[in-house]
Amino acid sequence: MNPRNVGEIEDPSGVGTVGNVKCGDIMKVYLKITGEGIVEDAKFKTFGCGAAVATSSMATEMIKGRSIDDALHITNKAVMDALDGLPPIKVHCSCLAEEALHAALWDYSQKNGLAIDGLKPPVNDIEELHEGAFA
Amino acid sequence: MEKVYFDHAATTYVRPEVLEAMLPYFAEDYGNPSSIYEIARSAKKTLETARDKAAAALGADPAEIFFTGSGTEADNWAIRGIAELYEKKGRHIISSAIEHHAVLHTCEYLEKRGFEVTYLPVGEDGIIRVADLEKAVRPDTTLITIMTANNEIGSIQPIEEIGALARSKGIVFHTDAVQAVGHIPINVKSQNIDMLSLSAHKLYGPKGVGALYVKKGIPLRSFIFGGGQERGRRAGTENIPGIVALGKAIELAVSEMEEESRRLSALRDKLIDGILSSVPHTFLNGSSVKRLPNNVNVSFEFIEGESLLLLLDMKGIFASSGSACTSGSLDPSHVLLAIGLPHEKAHGSLRITLGRSSTEGQVEYFLKELPPIVSRLRDMSPLFEEYLKISDPARVSG
Ligand SMILES: Cc1ncc(COP(=O)(O)O)c(C=O)c1O
């Protein structure tokens, strides 16, 4: 297990956190986006199994250098393909990775008052992280 | 790289003396014990010697031992057998929240068939309260099935008291002792046990062979139908090599138990102390006193168990976890939830189970490798980041 892009970005353009502690996977993605709308840098932090870490690593790797429109087309399937597939029980990890990218892009769009075609607010945003995680 | 097998509760290797004892029964004395010629007679004799050994290990009579194809089969047979045998008297069973799935899923099957099952809660220590048991007993209770020692957190139940209570109420008491036999002292008579399941591969025997002890006088019916093997109660040509191995393994385990459990308890305590003192935000799961000599189970906050296992694996260390990813479902271990752990702490659990191959050197190696692995995963964890922000608001970050 040697993931790339682990860490945080100072002053990120967008941050998205998805998943929940109940099912045992939480992904947080940080994006740095240039004035021209190109993803300059991407980093992540993940609480989860090996597949969750691997999909986070791959998804952040794939988004770097892309335009926002392009970035929206990084699907969970593309992440899985890039990893040479995942066992069925781990497919949800790739979905979470896709959602994490989208959540970070959503955050960026909100902060900048942009409407990005085809981007919806994250559905999987986590409440537990703030409520019960450290009880 | 050193290989450190720290998962003896999952299974053990077959020790050389046991392997040697079973080998002749594959290709030399391969006769069917039901036949009458010479190689069959020797098989038959060996079968009965193995039965004597298993009986001696439990303080039982050889006629009370029935060999099965696994610990799981013994559990299924005991529970379904008693439930159905005494169905007319009542349809209530008492078990616990931390049983192995061999017991839990059998109980669930019975629930679907109209039986009622009370699952006793356990304390933080992973131990039931006898007072709870007493309250749960009803006139229609026919069976109490509570494990001797837990496979995940190693907690040891008050078997003798449970047995005494069951006996005073005329209820059959079965115990899944798969993790206990050969590891802690067991005597079915002094502990008031009516039925007990065991399995060879947890005590340096092979996989796929177990036994059920059934106290004399309990007319447990056959569960697998066919020939007249095991005095008509468990059909199927006997797994002679496996049964011989079970006999040898259990005999050795019991004769070496005192010394080995002293050795393992010391290693266990060294591990527990070492982990808790070198890794912050870590705690022990289960009882620190009533605990199997070979079991360590700890939770590391803010990290997830499977990724911990993967990083340990890269260092040649083989252990297990109660996280969802390792249970093959989305929920973490039912045992850890039953002792009151919130989901995220159950996800961060690590189980180490020691055995004959474990050494002081391995414990030291593990204690050296563990802290940087946990730190690395915490650096990767959004939960830890959040925690740092809450505990130290001065820290600025994204
Ligand atoms: C407590 C307990 N009961 C039952 C079993 C099942 O035994 P077997 O693997 O022989 O079916 C196990 C082991 O997996 C166990 O730990």
A39 bridge partner residues: A33
pLDDT score recorded for residue A131: 37
Stretch 49-68 of chain A: residues touching chain B, C-beta under 8 Å: 49-53
pTM of the model: 0.92
pLDDT score recorded for residue B327: 60
Structural domain includes residue A45: yes
- Residues A101-112 have pLDDT tens digits of 999 999 999 999
Would you call A70 exposed, middle or buried from its count of C-beta atoms within 10 A (0-12, 13-18, 19+)? Answer: middle
Chain B residues lying within 8 Å of A107, measured CB to CB: none
Cα dihedral sign, B377-B381-B384-B389: positive
* Cβ–Cβ under 8 Å, residues B119 and B95: yes
pLDDT above 70: percentage of residues in chain A: 91
pLDDT score recorded for residue A135: 30
Active site residue A49: no
A25 bridge partner residues: A20
Give the span between the Cα atoms of B207 and B218, in whole angstroms. 28
pLDDT score recorded for residue A129: 41
Pocket test for ligand 1, best of B77, B178, B243 (most atoms within 8 A of CB): B178
pLDDT score recorded for residue A24: 80
pLDDT score recorded for residue A89: 82
- Which DSSP helix (H) or strand (E) runs through B167? helix B159-169
Mean pLDDT of B147-175: 98
More confident residue, A71 or B394: A71
Give the Å distances, CA to CA, from A57 to A84, A94, A97, B28. Answer: 14, 11, 9, 56
Give the number of the atom of ligand 1 that is nearest the alpha carbon of residue B73. 11
Structural domain includes residue A91: yes
Mean pLDDT of A60-81: 93
Mean pLDDT of B50-64: 98
Taking CA atoms only, the protein residue closest to ligand 1 atom 15 is: B178
Taking CA atoms only, the protein residue closest to ligand 1 atom 9 is: B71
Structural domain includes residue A134: no
Give the span between the Cα atoms of A49 and B38, in whole angstroms. 57
pLDDT score recorded for residue A120: 84
Q: Is B71 in the pocket of ligand 1 (CB under 6 A)?
A: yes
Residue with tokens 């007679």: B41
Q: What is the CATH number of the domain that holds A84?
A: 3.90.1010.10
When the pLDDT of each residue in chain B is averaged and rounded to a whole number, the result is 95
When the pLDDT of each residue in chain A is averaged and rounded to a whole number, the result is 87
Q: Is B206 in the pocket of ligand 1 (CB under 6 A)?
A: no
pLDDT score recorded for residue A124: 55
- Residues B314-349 have pLDDT tens digits of 999 999 998 866 665 667 899 999 999 999 899 999
Mean pLDDT of B86-114: 98
Structural domain includes residue A115: yes
Structural domain includes residue A23: yes
pLDDT score recorded for residue B131: 98
Q: Is B147 in the pocket of ligand 1 (CB under 6 A)?
A: yes
pLDDT score recorded for residue A132: 36
Mean pLDDT of B6-26: 97
- Which DSSP helix (H) or strand (E) runs through B173? strand B172-176
pLDDT score recorded for residue B361: 98
Mean pLDDT of B240-260: 98
Chain A residues lying within 8 Å of B379, measured CB to CB: 6-7
Sheet holding B92-96, edge to edge: B65-68, B210-214, B195-199, B172-176, B141-145, B92-96, B116-120
pLDDT score recorded for residue A76: 92
Res. B180 pLDDT band, cuts 50 70 90: very high
pLDDT score recorded for residue B99: 98
Give the span between the Cα atoms of B210 and B323, in whole angstroms. 28
More confident residue, A127 or B233: B233
Of A2-6, B156-160, B292-296, the range with the lowest mean pLDDT is A2-6
pLDDT score recorded for residue A23: 72
Q: Is B102 in the pocket of ligand 1 (CB under 6 A)?
A: yes
Which of A2, A9, A29, A134 is the best mutation test for B, with the most CBs of B within 10 A? A134
Cα dihedral sign, B44-B48-B54-B57: negative
Cα of B102 to ligand 1 centre, how many Å? 7
Kindly state the tokens that stand for B175: 């115990």
Q: How many domains does chain A have?
A: 1
pLDDT score recorded for residue B301: 96
* Cβ–Cβ under 8 Å, residues A9 and A66: no
Res. A119 pLDDT band, cuts 50 70 90: confident
Give the span between the Cα atoms of B315 and B2, in whole angstroms. 8
Residue A48 structural domain: 14-121
Structural domain includes residue A55: yes
Structural domain includes residue A5: no
Structural domain includes residue A9: no
Active site residue A95: no
